[in-house]
Structure 1
């Protein structure tokens, strides 16, 4: 089944929308001192170690990985990822000017924030993009050295959460694990292209079976 390529306008609108989902999820995490994995987690962790805003740190962390994405994956993926990362970097700094959270339950923030980030990442995947950083490195290591991307991602996320114990309370780290679970459930349950177009796949399967039968008939006739 041939995939239809998104237009530039479709990509830009989807990536900005996805960036808003991710940025608001990060904002919820920040409000309760929760952590997340990947490049966003590294940036959140960095805010405790250096006097720098999340948005700027997130943008800077991703810079070295663009060359890797440009040379090893694709130019379109790199450009779209740059748009996504820049959008998240800007919006996370601007959201507090529009939203003021005086109280939110940490568990709700973990669940809802994790779902928001998961949906945002899902939208990025659908438009040949990512949150950069660790995701790009995981893809490269899998392609070049046959190191499973999921294993590498899990190792990095686990390290980030362990390091978070030096900066935040242990119960917040446990709640952060819940957030990571919700985020990954959104992606694992929905990032399955074979489920999106059942009718087309059924037609393709029927055509394949018909071609096989026709080929068999021709061989018998011959």
Structure 2
């Protein structure tokens, strides 16, 4: 079924809509848990999620709606360079992640979490979530869209591209959190992006 919205056929290299749905849902749930752990500890991450946390901390807003609004400008790049199918799936993923992080305090609460453990676990959770999204030809917006485009266009590793962007975003973290929190935030970002750099390669996984 090839339409103006893109190629949605189920073949050896294409997922079915049902497979995309479960991949997007699973990825956003995992990422939402990771982001919620970071927010609980007062840590940050990179990309638009990191910017959303910085704004949320500074203005005492809920991170979910801020994250959704920050991603709106990136959809133009997604439509122009990656197609409507990718853009629609990414929009759904971003919307679902925003909803889940907004609802998280009402759904479950965290107790005491050791900081280094929390940073590592959160990085892995978000990394697994992004990997699921990437493998179903979608993302969680922001730098993920740019990283996927650069990987497709120039062969640059998506994880390493995101790591550079994330470190730049985390440099802003000093304006809202302590140096200790920035350190743990960097640990989480490195874990997240190294996980992606190792596990997300087009020559190892071709299904879209």
Match of 1:34 among 32, 43, 47: 43
User: How far did residue 138 of structure 1 move?
Assistant: 4.5
Q: How far, CA to CA, are the matches of 2:147 and 2:199 in structure 1?
A: 20
Aligned pair 1:134/2:131, yes or no?
Answer: no
- Per the alignment, residue 90 of structure 1 pairs with 99
> Per-residue displacement from partner, 1:38-60 (whole Å, max 9, x unpaired)?
11111111112334211001100
Q: Which runs of 5+ in 1 are unaligned?
A: 198-222
Q: How far, CA to CA, are the matches of 1:173 and 1:86 in structure 2?
A: 27
Aligned pair 1:116/2:125, yes or no?
Answer: yes
User: How far did residue 92 of structure 1 move?
Assistant: 0.8
Tell me the TM-score normalised to structure 1 length: 0.79
Aligned pair 1:45/2:54, yes or no?
Answer: yes
Match of 1:180 among 160, 165, 189: 189
- Per the alignment, residue 107 of structure 1 pairs with 116
Structure-2 change in CA distance of 1:147 and 1:190 (3 Å): closer
> Per-residue displacement from partner, 1:164-213 (whole Å, max 9, x unpaired)?
1121110111111111111112212211354469xxxxxxxxxxxxxxxx
Segment of structure 1 superposing worse, 144-153 or 74-83: 144-153
Q: How far, CA to CA, are the matches of 1:194 and 1:26 in structure 2?
A: 29
Structure-2 change in CA distance of 1:195 and 1:114 (3 Å): same
Structure-2 change in CA distance of 1:65 and 1:111 (3 Å): same
Q: How far, CA to CA, are the matches of 2:99 and 2:63 in structure 1?
A: 10
User: How far did residue 137 of structure 1 move?
Assistant: 3.5
Q: How far, CA to CA, are the matches of 1:139 and 1:118 in structure 2?
A: 14
Root mean square deviation, CA, Å: 2.6
Segment of structure 1 superposing worse, 149-158 or 165-174: 149-158
Q: How far, CA to CA, are the matches of 1:63 and 1:36 in structure 2?
A: 19
- Per the alignment, residue 77 of structure 2 pairs with 68
